[in-house]
Structure formats: structure tokens, C-alpha cells
Amino acid sequence: MNHKTLTEAREALKKYWGYSTFREGQEEVIHAVLEQRDTMVLFPTGGGKSLCYQLPSVVTEGLTVVISPLVALMQDQVQQLNNRNIAATFINSSISSWEVEQRLVNARNGMYDLLYCAPERLQTTLWQAELPKLDINLIAIDEAHCISEWGHDFRPSYREIRPALESIAASVSWMALTATATPEVRTDIQNNLELSEPVVVSKGFDRPNLKWWVLSSEQKDQKMLTAVRRASNTGVGLIYAGTRRNCEELSSKIQKQLGIETESYHAGKEPGDREQIQQRWVEGNLPLVVATNAFGMGIDKADCRYVIHYEMPYSLEAYYQQAGRAGRDGEESFPLLLFKPSDLRIAEKRIKDSYPEREQLQRVYDALCDSLDLAVGSEMETAEELSIDLLSKRAGFSKRITRSALNVLNHLGIIELIEYITPRIGVHFIANRDYIRELISKSENERKRLFLDTLLRQFGGEAFAEMKYLDFDYVREKLNVSPNAVKKGLQVLQDHDQILQFHSRGDLPLVKLLEERQSVLRLSKKELEQHRNTLLKKLEYMQGYIETEGCREVYIRQYFGESQVRPCGHCDNCLSEKKGEVQFMDSDLLSIKQALSKGGKTIPHLCRQFGWSRSRVKKSLSYLIREEKVKVNEEKYIWANSTEN
């Protein structure tokens, strides 16, 4: 990279992001990108991955294509970039085919620096037709662990990224980014994307400001309340509660018993409410959110002081990513996992139950296609809204089985299921333009006249041909009325004046078949069971993290492939050991030595002799064994210099 380019990169960092210097690892990545080298970026959550492709996009010619699996994250990042006056947009199944086409035309004409794209989009006829006309400079694959079947969120569509872009593969730079990749996953990413001698930049998986803690108790509610009471003095927090019901109940309990303002966040909430809760939390106006695991994706908040997991995640990758949302500013923060033994049995059962029988998958698939009026061989152009309740009734299954089947079909790349989208409003004018203009000019109601005129200007000519969708907040801002007034006004124009039809999106998930409808799903039993077995293996590692008596940070870092890792000194196990050593050095050394010098003793014997807890005896003995002062013969502990064998 020449000096001028480095200067431009630093100027762009200051101009668009307001930073004077790069964070650790970022400059090395950007250096490699500007030299058109392939790169693999392994930064922890909050480590500044997105800047690694966003900044090069504004200092180089051409388009950066960012491939992301998360609709909510795409929308969030595009909004942040636009707020910084960086030209960016996204294409996915939450927008109409007309809008997708228009955005691709704009991209072809050089109107964007970044184009965010769902991996499934690369397979479409429209994308393949436009691809040769796009001046693409960099392909950035976010959440790259989705490529690997060993990743915690494997998506088959990710393995088709390289083949779909083969025609331009040699003329662009490639970047793969992830916060959670074991050595096997890294190898899989590199091989699948065919990265050419990539520059690998890893910040490691240590988070020295995080105090990892696991609390095992049957009284999880009480322990949670105690933890929140203590942690609330440090700043805002986040609780991952697992289910909607837990979110509601825990949120209510915290407010009633602790008086701390708390909101629940889950898919059952109105989209506008979810967005408002998220915004208040990000701005520091809401101390605590109790959420399902969808909360936090793509959210840029540096000063979350504590993250409590009321329900255990099923993989160490998911836990590390979610817990890592605490302390992104480098200040001391607290990730706490609440646990009881039955959690593991429940988790194992849920994983096994989450893979329905092949016949159940077929039935839900058929019911879905029938509800979408799709004949065998038919394709879908855009995603449609989906009611899980209605689909469950149609398939004749419980909502749990139906939901599980949809998740598996989504995971296997048969459908695309979009759960969290920015609320959008669609308008289709059914009266002709001249009639509407006449209605505007003759209206004696000033507010109605202004409302309709603004609507016409914002939705434009396309809305006369089909339902056109725009972001709800954008429309509300242009109309300069409350959210409720937007819908009321549209209702009047639809029901009374009968000049348009409108539709809200965001209340229900969206679904799209990624291929034409099949009469019989082409799925083998091996294919269905393989990922389930991987998830069960990952659950074993999660159990290992919970049950380890060693340093928790060491366990995490070794899981992600780091070696020669020293204990952190500040997780619960390290602090407990230190405390044990102090007690031992102060008073316990002589007692243990005198007792064991007279002959071997079992742990129960020592507990009775000293009146100590089993935990205190075990920790003292563990320390002595490491110091080679005590040895073990069957269940008896013996002082190393004693004569007993």
C-alpha cells in the first residue's frame, strides 16, 4: 500500500467514523485489502470487523459486495452507513422484485459504495444477469462460519457463494469475517472460498475486561435478581431468557421486586415496539432488556456492562458471541451464566426434538406451498408473509413441530425464513393519477391534502403498477405524523376514498422457496441427522465449559484453537482458587500437613476432622497436588514425604 492510500484511509477513518487511529488488527486487514490480497478476519464480537470492509469501500474504486445471512443486521448497518453519508443499500427477500431490480441498476451506475446481499440472492436469474455489469472490487463474507458444517450456524447457501461468483472470482479480492471459528471451521472457510494465500488477521479470543462467571443453582430466579441488583449499579445490562414467556415473566419480576425499568424483547412484540426498545437501550435510556437471542445482532453499543444468560446457549460459539456484547468499550464487564443440571437434559431433548421426522418435514413443506398457491414446478419471486398459527392448522401439527420443521427447511436451504425485518408500509394506488391529483387540489381538508400529496410523491409511479414498500419510519417522517396517524390516514384513503390499498410488513415473518416446488423433498436420513449430531457435540463442549474447574477463559480460547494460554486470574474459578490459596497459605497448610503426615485420609474424613466444606477441602488438596506436596492412593490423600504407601 502506497503512502497516499494509507493517508486516504486514515482521513476516511476520521471523516466518516470520527476516529484518529485504527483499532488493533484493523490497519493490517485494510492494508491487505488495498493491496488486493485475500483476507480472513477473526475478530471477537465488538472487535470492529465491519470497518475492515466498510472503510476500503470509500477509498477505492468499484463496489464492495457484503454477503450477510441476517436481514436485521443488513438493514441496521446500511442505516448506520447512510447516516455517515456513505452510499449503501441492501437486497434481500424483504423488498419487492421491482425494488431489487432498481437497486441493482443503481449499483451498475456507480451509485453505491457498498451493496449488502443475502447469499440466496446470488442464485437468482436477475443477479446472474446483472453480475457482469457490476464493477465489483471486493467480496466480503460476513458470518463466514456459516460456510462450515462444523460452524454453529451452518447454512447450505453459503457453500454456493464461490460457485455463484466464479465468473468474477479471479478479478476481485475476497474477505471472510467471523467472530467464532474453531481451527476446523477456518480450514473449511478457506477451502470452500478458495482463498489464495490469505492474510489471516486474528485478535485472539481473550477479552481481558470480561469476568466470566457461571452460577449453578436450582433457584435461578433468585440468583438472577441478586445479580441484577448488584450489576445495575455498573450500567445497562442485557438478559438472554430463551423464550417469550421467560422474557415477559422475568421483565415483570425485575420491575416489581427491584424497581428497575425493564422491557422484554421478542418476536411477539410489534415491530415498531421492538425497534423503539432497541433504540432506547442503545441510547442508554433503558437500563435493562430481557430478550430472546435475536436481540443484539448488528447493534453497536459499546458500554453494556453485564450480560446474564438465564437460559444456557447450546454452543460455546453462540455463548461467546452473545456474552461478548458486554464490555465492547474495554471497560470491566460481567458475563454471567445461570445454570441448573436439568438445563442440559432439556437442551439435549430440544436438539433431538428440533429435527422432525422426514414425513413431518414433507407435510409442513406441502402445507406451506399450498398456502402460497404454488403448484409443483412453480417458483417464488419475492417473499410472502407467513402465519405460523395458520400453517400449523393446515399441516395438522403443533406450532412447536411446525416451527421446528420450518427451521430445518431454512437450515437446509430449501426455504428462506426472515423473522426480524424493519417495519415497512406498502401502497398500491388503484385510482388513476389524474383523479388523485384532482382530489388533492379540491380537498378542503388541509391535513388530508398534504398527507395524500406527500404519499403520492414518496411512492411515485411504481405504486400504480404494484404494491410498493418503503420503510415505515421513513414514510412517517415524511408525512410528519405519529405512527398511528399513518395507518389511520391510509385506512381512510383505502376504505372511504377507495383510491389505494395498503399493507404493513413486519408483523409476521416472511418466507420464500429458494427453488421450484418439489413433489417430494430430496433429503436423505444422513443429511438430516448429520447436523443434529454436530449440535449435540457442541452441547458437550458447552457442558465442559460449565463444569470445568479450570480457568474459563483458557477453556474458551483453547476451544477456538489458541495454545499456550495462561489463566486469566479473574473468572470465578480463578478467583475461587486464589481465595482457596490464601486461606490455605494462612491457616490450612499446617492443619492439612499434620493430618496427612499421620496417615492417608479421604475427603469425608478431612471434612469431619476440620469441620470444613467439601469444596474447601477439595480446593486445598488440588493446590497441594499441583505443588507436589500431596499424592493420591486410590481415594486416600497422602502427604508426599510421609512413609505410607
Instruction: Provide the CATH number for the domain around residue 334.
Output: 3.40.50.300
The β-bridge partners of 290 are 239, 264
In this structure, are 138 and 268 located in the same domain? Answer: no
Residue 588 binned pLDDT confidence (cut-offs 50, 70, 90): low
Residues 324 and 363 in one domain: no
DSSP line for 308-332? EESS--SSHHHHHHHHTTS-TTSS-
Residue 274: phi and psi, rounded to 5, are -60, -45
**pLDDT of the residue at 270:** 77
Position 644 in a domain: no
Residue 593 lies in a domain: yes
- Convert the pLDDT of each residue in 127-186 to its tens digit: 999 999 999 999 999 999 988 877 667 778 888 899 999 999 999 999 999 988 888 888
Alpha carbon distance 254, 252 (integer Å): 6
User: What mean pLDDT comes out for the span 605-614?
Assistant: 81
pLDDT-based confidence at residue 582 (cuts at 50, 70, 90): very low
Whether 29 contacts 52, CB under 8 Å: yes
C-beta contacts of 214-217 below 8 A and 24+ residues apart:
214/336, 214/337, 214/339, 214/545, 214/546, 214/552, 214/572, 215/336, 215/337, 215/338, 215/339, 215/572, 216/339, 216/340, 216/341, 216/546, 217/338, 217/339, 217/340
Query: Looking at 210-214, 335-339, 559-563, which range is the least confident one?
Result: 559-563
The DSSP symbol for 16 reads I
Task: Judge if 142 and 43 occupy the same domain.
Answer: yes
Mean per-residue pLDDT over the chain, rounded: 87
What is the mean predicted confidence (pLDDT) over 522-542? 82
Query: What pLDDT shows up at residue 253?
Result: 96
- The 3-class secondary structure across 334-345, one letter per residue, is EEEEEECCHHHH
Domain boundary among 154, 171, 202: 202
Residue 581 pLDDT level (bands cut at 50, 70, 90)? very low
In a domain, 254, yes or no: yes
**Domain for residue 567, yes or no?**
no
Whether residue 484 is contained in a domain is answered as yes
State the pLDDT confidence band at 589, using cuts at 50, 70 and 90.
low
Q: List the domain range (segments joined by +) for residue 412.
A: 349-421+510-523
Portion of the chain with pLDDT greater than 90, in percent: 46
- Which residues face 115 on adjacent strands? 65, 89
What is the band of 420 on the pLDDT scale with cuts at 50, 70, 90? low
Of 158, 178, 202, the one marking the end of a domain is 202
Q: How far apart are CA 149 and CA 526, in angstroms?
A: 13
Give pLDDT, residue 505: 77
> What CATH number is associated with residue 592?
1.10.10.10
Same domain, 158 and 16: yes
Whether 169 and 240 share a structural domain = no
268 pLDDT more than 90:
no
Q: In what order do the strands lie in the sheet with 468-471?
A: 468-471, 424-429, 500-505
In the predicted structure, residue 492 carries a pLDDT above the cut 80: yes
Average pLDDT value for residue range 199-213? 90
266 and 124, same domain (yes or no): no
Q: Is residue 531 part of a domain?
A: no
**Residue whose C-alpha cell is 441476517:** 70
Q: What is the pLDDT of residue 139?
A: 97
Residue of 75 and 201 predicted with greater confidence: 201
What are the strands, taking DSSP E only, across 75-165? 88-91, 114-117, 136-141
Count of domains for the chain: 5
Q: Is the entire prediction scored with pTM above 0.95?
A: no
- Specify if 220 maps to a domain: yes
Q: Poorest-confidence range of 205-214, 290-299, 432-441? A: 290-299
Binned at pLDDT 50, 70 and 90, residue 529 comes out as confident
Same structural domain for residues 80 and 13?
yes
Q: 257 and 120 in one domain?
A: no
| Whether residue 317 is found in the same domain as residue 360 | no
Does one domain contain both 381 and 440? no
Residue 304: which of 324, 326, 319 has the closest Cα? 326
In the predicted model, is pLDDT for residue 642 greater than 70? no
DSSP characters over 222-280: HHHHHHHHHHTTTS-EEEE-SSHHHHHHHHHHHHHHH---EEEESTTS-HHHHHHHHHH
Asked whether residue 318 falls in the same domain as residue 390, the answer is no
pLDDT-derived band at 427 (thresholds 50, 70, 90) equals very high
Least confident of 54-63, 270-279, 580-589: 580-589
Q: What's the pLDDT band for 2 if we cut at 50, 70, 90?
A: very low
DSSP state of 601: B
- Does residue 548 form part of some domain? yes
Higher pLDDT, 587 or 268: 268
**Most confident region among 3-17, 70-84, 331-345, 573-587 by mean pLDDT:** 331-345
The answer on 228 and 153 residing in a single domain is no
Do the beta carbons of residue 310 and residue 241 sit within 8 Å? yes
pLDDT of 584 strictly over 90: no
